Amino acid sequence: MKVLSLFDGISCGRLALERAGLPVECYDAFEIDKYAVTVSKNNYPDIVHHGNVFDGDFTEFKGYDLLLGGSPCTYWSVAKKNREITSDGEGFRLFMEYVRALNESKCKYFLYENNYSIHQNIKDEISKRFGVEPIMINSALVSAQNRKRCYWTNIPVTSFPADKGILLKDVLESGIAWQDKSYCMTARYSGAIIQNSLRLCKPLSSAS
């Protein structure tokens, strides 16, 4: 399978395909976050990285089988004050790069994901571009987090994941100093400060 992935993050799409037992012949990714790219390269050195979606010539990927992607929901999220609720903002401009990639590459299949909480106006516009309605799946079915997401795809969907009954207590580690084996990074939102991350990274025993 030949895969083109936009807004690739740490290449979770590659991991999902791997777990599904689907062989990947080549995987080309567009991502600009240097930390995400570092993780991706460490886990999958064979992935070819192309940088910014706005610079992409997606005709280079004609003949590819699958287009993956989930454009940043930052501009559409309910967590953002004065979020965008129409298709004339930066959020939709990013989304349209996915549409451009689909049109130029003519990938046989596509899978696009975004936040369930985005405004209905946005959902309707996305559905109009793809010609399909979204499928909502809550990640709580297969993980310890309540995370509703919408998926637009032309892949035939005949069943949904079974609820594995995973709870937070099932994934929390005990008996180890977790802060010694992980790094905390401050999100790059307006007003973010490193002290917030450092405060969260304190061992529970010493937290004030």
Catalytic positions, please? Answer: 73
Question: Cα–Cα distance between 164 and 84 in angstroms, integer?
Answer: 35
Q: What is the dihedral of CA 79, 83, 85, 90, to 10 degrees?
A: -120
Closest C-alpha among 54, 62, 72, 67 to residue 7 = 72
Q: Which amino acid appears at position 2 of this protein?
A: K
C-alpha radius of gyration, the chain, whole number: 19
Closest C-alpha among 102, 8, 100, 103 to residue 55 = 100
**Cβ pair 17, 24 in contact under 8 A:** yes
Q: Which amino acid appears at position 162 of this protein?
A: A
Helix or strand run (H / E) with residue 21: none
